Amino acid sequence: MVKLLGGRYEIEEQIGGGGMAVVYRAADTLLGRPVAVKMLRPQYAGDEEFVRRFRQEAQSAARLSHPNIVNLYDVGTVNGEYFIVMEYVDGPTLKDVIRERGPLSVPEALDITRQICDALEHAHDHHIIHRDIKPHNILLTKSGMVKVTDFGLARAMTGNTLTHHHESSVLGSVHYFSPEQARGGMTDIKTDIYSLGVVMYEMLTRELPFSGDSPVSVALKHLRSSFVEPRVLNPQIPQSVENVILRCLVKSPDARYADMRAVKADLADALIHPNVPKFVVPEVVSDETIAIPVVGGISSSVDEDKPASRPAPVKKRKWWRSALWTLVALGVLMVGAFAAYYIVMDLIQVPNVSLPNVVGQSETAAVNHLKQAGFTASQIQEQKAANAKPKGVVYAQDPQGPTEVKQNRSVTLYISTGPPQITMPNLQGVPLDQAVTTLEDAGFPSSKIQEQPVNSTENAGLVVQTQPAAGASVSMDGTVVLQYSQGSMTTVPNVINMTVNQAKAALASANLQLGQIYQMPYPVQDQTVFKMVPYAAGQQVPTGTKIDLYVANNSGGSGGPAGSQNATGGTGGTSGTGGTGSTGSTGSTGSTSSTAPPTNLPSNTEVKPVEVIVPDPSGKNIAVQIVKSDITGKNQTYADQVINSKTTWTVPLYLTPGSTGEVRVYENGNLVQREVLSY
């Protein structure tokens, strides 16, 4: 039987849950939209402390209105069941994303981090500290938009949550909380900054900075231990990005960023100036005693190396003093509980109004539309920023419409100031690929960058002129033309079915250079060219361009590329080694699959080579296994050997139109490389 909550919300299925609450996907039968319903577990409905914390989440969320924060729609109690109705986000948690394809790329991780910062900045501006930032509480929509949830939620005791028994307050999730939370001290915005640093660390390394056998051991590491620096685990992280993580994770709150705006400022600069001096964590000497919450019966201990001191005489307290303090504490708790109850009840009793969708309207029209719907000028907030929409047009609103909201709910309109403008850099004399990268780093989409070859006395490939010219103000949605020198041009000759020497002579006659020679099995006459890259016969290219050749080697060789100086094909590997690169592999042992070319291949078969390079393991032995799949078979072992120096293989994938090939490389049993090619 389908459960209808409050006569309006039709519960469909459970989609999540924690220590004190369960989250369901439901349908709002009144507005016809999906929603998420969080319900307090029945066993806690009679516990005033849990009810208070559950209401605290509703109060915190009701004060927040931001695109990167899950919206609160409704709260209520039906037959003793406490529930909160929120925006339904059809997407995974950040934890799911990290598990599935972590570590994330640097640009993706920074984009997610910026959106989390925006959400936390909004919360901090409203005097709300999250205190439990972690990937589990960060949702991602299908479009990649971040939604932070669980504001003000106090979780029940679980294996990964520390609780201060004296105050019965949950301090946070052990792997992500700050040293001050572990110490049981005061928390502020610096607490969220520390947790954000842990989330960044995990996104970029797929590891946590601290782990242990118990919550207490992890808490102690947050307080005293150092962690493996992110760039050690992932060398692709720029130093500028690692600096942000290191500064967030300083154990002393005073040495961390001042606020989320400061974090965002460094994030914005991180990819523009990646090579910066390493951030040096300040050494903070503290002799204060660390108080760790008791978890699982663990108690504090004394230093056995020091002689025990004589305990001071304990004065007997009068029983009435203890009783008085107990009564005072109970009175404070009761006042707080009643106040929270009436605040939530007041929130529930506020009537709903219809919020229209004003996205795409002009600023004036949108404001008038909202006023006609019953919103006052003080409820309508405006934020202006550069956007692809024309100047003065609303490009987003929060909450999104059409929907129903509380009559006193504020509405934020995001109004475009027009597309962003940048100053055109001076790219004259810069190589074309470098000029394109410079523009893309400045924010130009590649689709707006046009490349136009022109005749010029400049060296081929250098930018001669740009449109607009250097120094001009350019709109980010405008088109930039890069005119580059093509130098003197020549026609690529057809060298297919030639020998290497014949091909080399033909290329020289056309003022072209011989590049790399790749030898591999192929069903044509031995030692003849069967493919040329990156240009085909008949194309116009600048003189001096290098042309790589693929040569059939059907006599047992299966080597990698030979140097262009070797006109006969050079140093292709021999049977039993799987092929060697320019440095060879003097210490390799093992075997490869047969190097004879497959027979009876379809006429439209294309050979797509995949180069596998295992770098110098510094004299250590590494067991390398290469497995390939193509039209000739699945999971074929191409190489299985032990090496102790740099080794290169060129693995041929035989493909036909519409087929897919794969090469997997394992080192000591661990997958280190995977290439998938389609034709």
Q: Which residues are catalytic?
A: 132
Extract the tokens encoding 147. Answer: 């939604």
Residue 41 CB coordination number (10 Å): 18
Maximum CA pair distance of the chain? 108
Question: Where do we find the tokens 């001071």?
Answer: 312
In this structure, the chain runs to a length of 679
Q: How far is CA 486 from CA 455, 457, 534, in A?
A: 6, 9, 17
SS3 label, residue 432: helix
Rounded-to-integer distance, Cα 46 and Cα 42, Å: 8
CB 421 within 8 A of CB 474: yes
Angle at 560 between CA 557 and CA 564, to 5 degrees: 105
Which positions ≥6 away from 552 have C-beta within 8 Å? Answer: 519, 520, 521, 522, 523, 524, 525, 526, 527, 528, 530, 597
Q: Is 251 helix (H, G, I), strand (E, B) or coil?
A: coil
The two tokens of residue 149 are 């949830």
Q: Which residue has the tokens 């400045």?
A: 442
Question: What amino acid is encoded at 186 in this protein?
Answer: M
Side-chain-side CA neighbours of residue 577 (13 Å): 23
CA atoms 540, 541, 543, 547: torsion sign: negative
Distance in angstroms (rounded) separating the CA atoms of residues 538 and 491: 6
Strands 546-552 and 513-520: parallel
* Phi, then psi, of 638 in degrees rounded to 5: -85, -35
Can you tell me which residue has the tokens 């679980």?
A: 158
- DSSP 8-state code for residue 467: E
Asked whether the CA dihedral 364, 366, 369, 374 is positive or negative, the reply is negative
Residue 669, both tokens: 């049993």
- What single letter denotes the amino acid at residue 452? Q
Pick from 657, 598, 593: nearest CA to 625: 593
3-state secondary structure of 540: strand
Q: Go through 522-561 and write b for each residue having 16 or more CB atoms within 10 A of its CB, e for each that does not.
A: bbeeebbbbbbeebeeeeebbeebebbbbbbbbeebbbbb
Burial of residue 422, with CB atoms counted within 10 A of its CB: 0-12 exposed, 13-18 middle, 19 or more buried: middle
The whole-angstrom separation of Cα 75 and Cα 62 is 10
The answer to whether residues 549 and 529 touch, using CB atoms and an 8 Å cutoff, is: yes
CB 617 within 8 A of CB 644: yes
